[in-house]
Amino acid sequence: MALAFDEFGRPFIILREQDQKTRLRGIDAQKANIAAGKAVARILRSSLGPKGMDKMLQGPDGDITITNDGATILEQMDVDNQIAKLMVELSRSQDYEIGDGTTGVVVMAGALLEQAERQLDRGIHPIRIAEGYEMASRVAVDHLERIAQKFEFDVNNFEPLVQTCMTTLSSKIVNRCKRSLAEIAVKAVLAVADLERRDVNLDLIKVEGKVGGKLEDTELIYGILIDKDMSHPQMPKQIEDAHIAILTCPFEPPKPKTKHKVDIDTVEKFETLRKQEQQYFDEMVQKCKDVGATLVICQWGFDDEANHLLMHRNLPAVRWVGGVELELIAIATGGRIVPRFQELTPEKLGKAGVVREKSFGTTKERMLYIEHCANSKAVTVFIRGGNKMMIEETKRSIHDALCVARNLIRNKSIVYGGGAAEIACSLAVDAAADKYPGVEQYAIRAFAEALDSVPMALAENSGLQPIETLSAVKSQQIKENIPFYGIDCNDVGTNDMREQNVFETLIGKQQQILLATQVVKMILKIDDVISNSEY
């Protein structure tokens, strides 16, 4: 611990209780931070690409997640180191912004850090390295813009979109039925997309999962799915052209909020109360019937008698529907949530084409489908799968695919995957480096080298010779001046990513480079780490 002394040789106290704190300064601090960042990147490196391996994560309660989604791995890893936490943040922000490429961004950042370490050993000042990286990232992003291709599709011809989603899904465990899942994702996005404004509200897509069945049974529902069944087992299971009354009051006798007492002291009073009660149930059901409702969805429970009356009057009902679902139903069907029976009017009813109850498997699990809703375009992706692990992983994969489809609708530009874009950028950055006088030149070259690490990791994970493959592809790109050559991960026999239909979105790739550079710059600028040694 460095100490400062005054002219009499007494030490100044700069940090409170400084013996109890560890402090790293200067080059040591940078090296320690880089090492931590690299360690995180190294964990993810083997998960990159279609042949990437999975990680098995055992949570604090012993539950198991098997995934190769970068964001999920980092989220569940429970890291303690500050710099490692930065990397977790990095992957998370890529997830929020783009939804895909969460592994790639961390691997990229790790490679940049590794190169930075080498430059530090040469004696280049961290700030100069950071500046060089900044310049290089600008070159790379511009170059991506140049090699990007517009990509034509419309509502009727969404095949290209499906292809792109398939690229995303091929690296997941669900790649067995990537085709059908990709189609589901694209159809879901197109169903809610606002093609005029080029915007997609992903909130309208609900992803639900239920254990059981096969992955192939996963389906897209144009409507809403709720995990409830009809309140009475003998109510009709299917209602066509439903008029839905959405209630937040129970089918039970009223409960005024103000405190009151009804005293029964004579037989007559007892009799009247009894009559009233019966009448009350009758009235409630009659009200719903009068406004023309053919289905009642209620947030609360029903009394047995009310339940039977509903069933008797042929008015199917669902009880104990949660608040969030109730709102969703109200939005989707264009109905209003009604808090009192007195306020029920025909206009307040929601409308849906079909409401049906479906039961699953040999057990008595039932769910309610509300389809062809009047108002909105809300859709639900309903995932089936062998076990909970599989469903969670499928959910994540579908989420990624949805994000990719959305990004494509927002911005039609694409670049080619399989490391092709990185190699092209690396070449461009390398060429640009020579134009910069000064120390930054070295940092820019280092950046180019770091870009190579993504295709390198891809080749490594696919069981190819990394250096050999990369140099072959690189020379091919230069020779033919076509930026579409990448790593042939699936052993198809061609390096041309156009033929293999491996795309990635332009914004996704740009964002990856920008975010990774930003984080690395931040890490490089830290030159003093003070931490409580207690922790």
Partner 1 sequence: MPIDKIFKDDASEEKGERARMASFVGAMAISDLVKSTLGPKGMDKILQSTGRGHAVTVTNDGATILKSLHIDNPAAKVLVDISKVQDDEVGDGTTSVVVLAGELLREAEKLVASKIHPMTIIAGYRMASECARDALLKRVIDNKDNAEMFRSDLLKIAMTTLCSKILSQDKEHFAEMAVDAVFRLKGSTNLEAIQIIKKPGGTLRDSFLDEGFILDKKIGIGQPKRIENAKILVANTAMDTDKVKIYGARVRVDSMTKVAEIEGAEKEKMKDKVKKIIAHGINCFVNRQLIYNFPEELFADAGILAIEHADFEGIERLGLVTGGEIASTFDNPESVKLGHCKLIEEIMIGEDKLIHFSGCEMGQACSIVLRGASHHVLDEAERSLHDALCVLSQTVNDTRVLLGGGWPEMVMAKEVDELARKTAGKKSHAIEAFSRALVAIPTTIADNAGLDSAELVAQLRAEHHTEGCNAGIDVISGSVGDMEERGIYEAFKVKQAVLLSATEASEMILRVDEIITCAPRRREDRM
Catalytic site residue from 65, 69, 430, 517: 69
Identify the H or E element spanning 21: strand 21-25
Interactions with partner 1, residue window 294-313 (CB under 8 A): 303-305, 307-309, 311-312
Give φ, ψ of 34 to 5 degrees.
-60, -40
Instruction: Determine, following the binding rule CB under 8 A, whether residue 271 of this chain makes contact with partner 1.
Output: yes
* Smallest distance, partner 1 to C-beta of residue 345, A: 26
How many CA atoms within 13 Å lie on the side-chain side of 228? 22
Total residues contacting partner 1 by CB under 8 A comes to: 77
Specify the residue, 305 or 527, whose C-beta has the smaller distance to partner 1.
305
Residues pairing with 251 in the sheet: 302
User: Interface mask (CB under 8 A) for partner 1, residues 490-529, using x and -?
Assistant: ----------------------------------------
Q: Closest by alpha carbon to 146, among 431, 360, 492, 461?
A: 431
Instruction: Tell me how far apart the alpha carbons of residues 60 and 65 are, in angstroms, rounded to a whole number.
Output: 11
Q: What residues have CB less than 8 Å from 327, skipping those under 6 apart?
A: 337
Specify the residue, 31 or 187, whose C-beta has the smaller distance to partner 1.
31
Query: What count of other Cβ atoms lies within 10 Å of the Cβ of residue 254?
Result: 10
Interactions with partner 1, residue window 436-495 (CB under 8 A): 461-463
Interactions with partner 1, residue window 204-233 (CB under 8 A): 212, 232-233
Interactions with partner 1, residue window 238-257 (CB under 8 A): 252-256
Instruction: Tell me how far apart the alpha carbons of residues 327 and 159 are, in angstroms, rounded to a whole number.
Output: 34
Identify the H or E element spanning 83: helix 82-97
Instruction: Tell me how far apart the alpha carbons of residues 458 and 44 are, in angstroms, rounded to a whole number.
Output: 12
Specify the residue, 196 or 263, whose C-beta has the smaller distance to partner 1.
263
Q: Closest by alpha carbon to 167, among 192, 149, 186?
A: 186
Residues pairing with 225 in the sheet: 369
Q: What is the chain's alpha carbon radius of gyration, rounded to the nearest angstrom?
A: 31
* Smallest distance, partner 1 to C-beta of residue 88, A: 10
Q: CB of 230 within 8 A of CB of 357?
A: yes
Residues pairing with 211 in the sheet: 385
Interactions with partner 1, residue window 14-43 (CB under 8 A): 28, 31-32, 35-36, 39-40, 43
Instruction: Tell me how far apart the alpha carbons of residues 325 and 26 are, in angstroms, rounded to a whole number.
Output: 55
Q: CB of 27 within 8 A of CB of 120?
A: yes
Instruction: Determine, following the binding rule CB under 8 A, whether residue 532 of this chain makes contact with partner 1.
Output: no
Instruction: Tell me how far apart the alpha carbons of residues 137 and 474 are, in angstroms, rounded to a whole number.
Output: 19
Specify the residue, 151 or 280, whose C-beta has the smaller distance to partner 1.
280
Q: Tell me how far apart the terminal alpha carbons of the chain are, to the nearest angstrom.
A: 18
Specify the residue, 87 or 329, whose C-beta has the smaller distance to partner 1.
87
Specify the residue, 28 or 434, whose C-beta has the smaller distance to partner 1.
28
DSSP state of 172: S
Catalytic site residue from 400, 452, 488, 496: 400
Interactions with partner 1, residue window 50-79 (CB under 8 A): 51, 53-62, 64, 66, 68, 73, 76-79
Specify the residue, 36 or 144, whose C-beta has the smaller distance to partner 1.
36
Specify the residue, 81 or 248, whose C-beta has the smaller distance to partner 1.
81
- The tokens for 27 are 């080059």
Catalytic site residue from 65, 67, 72, 103: 103
User: Interface mask (CB under 8 A) for partner 1, residues 308-347, using x and -?
Assistant: xx-xx-----------------------------------
Q: Measure the CA dihedral 372/376/378/379, to 10°.
A: 30
Q: Closest by alpha carbon to 281, among 312, 256, 259?
A: 312
Identify the H or E element spanning 45: helix 26-45
Q: CB of 245 within 8 A of CB of 296?
A: yes
* Smallest distance, partner 1 to C-beta of residue 421, A: 23
Interactions with partner 1, residue window 356-415 (CB under 8 A): 361-364, 386-389
Q: Is 394 marked active-site?
A: no
Specify the residue, 66 or 431, whose C-beta has the smaller distance to partner 1.
66
Interactions with partner 1, residue window 162-181 (CB under 8 A): 173
* Smallest distance, partner 1 to C-beta of residue 146, A: 34
Q: Closest by alpha carbon to 187, among 332, 23, 402?
A: 402
Instruction: Determine, following the binding rule CB under 8 A, whether residue 274 of this chain makes contact with partner 1.
Output: yes
* Smallest distance, partner 1 to C-beta of residue 79, A: 5
Q: Is 69 marked active-site?
A: yes
* Smallest distance, partner 1 to C-beta of residue 475, A: 26
* Smallest distance, partner 1 to C-beta of residue 31, A: 5
Specify the residue, 154 or 263, whose C-beta has the smaller distance to partner 1.
263
- Describe the crossing of helices 267-290 and 304-312 by its angle, rounded to 10 degrees: 40
* Smallest distance, partner 1 to C-beta of residue 56, A: 4
Interactions with partner 1, residue window 109-148 (CB under 8 A): none
Q: CB of 443 within 8 A of CB of 136?
A: yes
Q: Is 400 marked active-site?
A: yes
* Smallest distance, partner 1 to C-beta of residue 102, A: 16
Q: Is 72 marked active-site?
A: no
* Smallest distance, partner 1 to C-beta of residue 151, A: 30
Alpha helices in 98-242 (DSSP H): 102-122, 126-147, 159-169, 178-192
Active site residues: 69, 102-103, 400
